Chains A and B, each alone.
Chain A
C-alpha cells in the first residue's frame, strides 16, 4: 500500500489509480511487475554473457543454465536407476548362491557411485540444519543468561563482538585440525568433512542469536518483571513463564539472521572442507573445467539463492506461528 502511494506522489503522471481497481492493481504489483523485473534481468544477463569470453568458453546465458538444470536432473535419475539396478543385481546373485549353497551368508555391498546434484543439495541442507541447531542449543541459553545478568553481559559482550565478524575461512583450518586431533574413531558415525563444515557453520551463526536473545531478554518490560517478583516466581519459572515468551520475538529475529549467515557460510565451508554438498559441487566443477562447468556452477548459484530464500521464508512462518506479538514480525 505505502509503496504504491509513494510512487503515486512522486510520479503523478504515472498514476495507476486512474484504473482504480484494487484487483487490477494488486495483480500488476504482485505478479506483472516482478515478472517484468525477471524478464529484464534475463535479457541483460543474456546480452552481457555473450560478450564475456573465458578460457572455458562463453559465459553461460540463461538458456545454457536451463539446459544444465535438465542435465543435472537427468544425471540424478540415471544414477538412481543405476543404484537400484546395482542392488537388484546383488539380490539376484545372492538368491542364486543361496539356492546352490544353503549355508551361504548373503552380503549386501553399498552402492559407491558419485553423489548427484540432488544428493548434494540434501547434504548441504542436513549440514546447515545440524550446524544451526547446535548453535541454537548453545546460543539461546547463553543469550538468556547474558540478558538476565548485567555482569555476565559485560563479561561476554567483548568476546562476542570480536568473534562476530570473523570469516568462516579463518575458522575452518582451526576446526579441521581440532576435529582431526579429537575425532579419531575407527568407525566414525559421520564424516570428518561433515563435522568440519557443521562446526564452522555453528561458530559463525552463533553470535547474532546470542546478541538478539540477550537484547530481547534485557529489554523485557520492567512491569512484567515486577509482576513476577510480586508473584514470587522461582527463577526457573520466571524464565519459563515470563522471560522466554517475552523475548520470543527477538529470539526468532536472531534465529532468522543466523540461519541466513549459516547458509552463506556453509557454501564456503563445504568448498574447503570437501563436504559433499553444494559448496563441493561448485568447487569440483571449477576444478573440472569442462565447457559446461560455468553453466553448472551458475545453476548451483540459482539453487543456492532459492534455498536461502526458502529457508528465510520458513523461518518467518515459524516466527509468525510462535510469536504473540504479530506486529514485531517484519517481512
Chain B
C-alpha cells in the first residue's frame, strides 16, 4: 500500500529564556493507509510533540508533514485528535459534544437527519448509546474517553491521532477500551497514530511500534513490525511466544538503548530495573 502520511525529517526547537531547546531531531516516519502505529518512549521524550506537529498544533522548525498530497500547515478535522484528558466540553452532553464536531465537518454536506443519524451511529460504535444525553461530569473516566473517541471518529479523519488515550484510566477499564478500539479498528480500518507508554498496549494494538530515544533531541530509535494475526485476543496472546518476544524487544529498548548518552552508573541502575519490572515502563520513567 502507498504511503498516506509522510513525516519527513522533522526538527522541533523551542525558544526558552536559556536558549533554544531541541525537542526533536530528524524524526522521519512513513505511515501507510490503514496502519496502526504506536509511538512509545519515556515521559518527556517528545512523543506528544511529534503528534502535535502531525496535528498541526505545532509547526516543525525543519522538515514537514505531508498527508496525502498536501502539506500540513494548520490543525484540521482530517487529523482528528483524541486527547489524553478527553477534553470534552463540560457544558455539553455527549451527544452535543459529537454534534459540535459533526456540524463543523459535515454541516454543508449532510442534512439534519443524516447528521443526527451519524452522531448516534458513532456514539453507538463506542457503546455510549445509552448515555448520549449525559454531560461529562455525570459519566466515568472511561466513558468520557469513549465519547472523545466517538467525536474524533465522527470527523471521519484521514488519520486518527491518539495522545495516550487510556493513560488516565484504571487497568480494567483500559483493557476494555483497548478491546473496543480493536473492534472499531477491525470495522473501520482507520490510519492511527497512538502515543502510549504501556508496552502491552503497544504490542496488542499496533501494526508497527515506533520506539523513541530520550530527549532532548529525541529521535526514532527503532521500529518494530508486529506481525500478529488479527483479531487479537489478549488472553491467547499471553502464552504466544512471538507476543512475548515483541514485548521483550520493546522493554529492552526502553530500558537499555535509550540511555546511550547517559553516564554508566545510570545505565546500570536501568538494567537492574528490567528484572524487577517487566510490566510497564511508566514505573521506571
**B87 located at the interface, meaning its Cβ lies under 8 Å from any Cβ of chain A in the complex:** yes
Sample of 22 A–B contacts (CB below 8 Å): A221-B87, A223-B85, A223-B87, A224-B89, A226-B55, A226-B75, A226-B87, A227-B81, A229-B57, A229-B75, A230-B57, A230-B77, A230-B80, A230-B81, A242-B89, A245-B91, A246-B89, A246-B91, A248-B91, A324-B91, A324-B135, A325-B90
Contact present for A232 and B89 (CB under 8 Å): no
Interface residues of A (CB under 8 A from B): 221, 223-224, 226-227, 229-233, 241-242, 245-246, 248, 324-325
Instruction: Please classify the interface of chain A as helix (H, G, I), strand (E, B), loop, or mixed, using the class held by over half of its residues.
Output: helix
> Chain B's nearest CB lies how many Å from the CB of A281?
43
Interface residues of B (CB under 8 A from A): 55-57, 74-77, 79-81, 83, 85, 87, 89-91, 100-101, 104-105, 135, 137, 155
A233 and B104 contact, Cβ closer than 8 Å, known pairs A226-B81, A324-B135: yes
> Chain A's nearest CB lies how many Å from the CB of B222?
30
Find chain B residues with CB under 8 A from A324 CB. Answer: 90-91, 135, 137
Contact present for A226 and B77 (CB under 8 Å): no
Q: Which residue of B lies closest to A231 (CB)?
A: B104
Contact present for B104 and A226 (CB under 8 Å): no
Instruction: Please classify the interface of chain B as helix (H, G, I), strand (E, B), loop, or mixed, using the class held by over half of its residues.
Output: loop
Q: Which 10 A-B pairs have the closest CB atoms?
A: A324-B91, A223-B87, A229-B75, A231-B104, A245-B91, A230-B75, A223-B83, A230-B81, A227-B87, A324-B90
Interface centre among A227, A248, A324 (most CB of B within 10 A): A227
Find chain A residues with CB under 8 A from B57 CB. Answer: 226, 229-230
Contact partner, B77, options A221, A231, A246, A248, Cβ 8 Å: A231
Interface centre among A223, A246, A248 (most CB of B within 10 A): A223
Contact present for A226 and B83 (CB under 8 Å): yes
A232 and B104 contact, Cβ closer than 8 Å, known pairs A226-B57, A324-B135: yes
Contact partner, A232, options B75, B87, B90, B137, Cβ 8 Å: B75
Find chain A residues with CB under 8 A from B135 CB. Answer: 324
For the complex, what is the distance from the CA of A227 to the CA of B77, rounded to whole Å? 9
New contact pairs (4) apart from A226-B55, A246-B91, CB-CB < 8 Å: A229-B56, A230-B55, A241-B89, A245-B89
Contact partner, B89, options A226, A227, A229, A230, Cβ 8 Å: A227
> Chain B's nearest CB lies how many Å from the CB of A215?
18
For the complex, what is the distance from the CA of A229 to the CA of B74, rounded to whole Å? 8
Contact partner, A230, options B76, B90, B91, Cβ 8 Å: B76
Find chain A residues with CB under 8 A from B101 CB. Answer: 231
Interface centre among A230, A231, A242, A246 (most CB of B within 10 A): A230
Find chain B residues with CB under 8 A from A231 CB. Answer: 77, 100-101, 104-105, 155
Find chain B residues with CB under 8 A from A229 CB. Answer: 56-57, 74-75
For the complex, what is the distance from the CA of A135 to the CA of B63, rounded to whole Å? 50
Find chain B residues with CB under 8 A from A232 CB. Answer: 74-77, 104
For the complex, what is the distance from the CA of A265 to the CA of B202, rounded to whole Å? 63
For the complex, what is the distance from the CA of A324 to the CA of B87, rounded to whole Å? 15
For the complex, what is the distance from the CA of A246 to the CA of B136, rounded to whole Å? 14
Find chain B residues with CB under 8 A from A226 CB. Answer: 55, 57, 75, 81, 83, 87
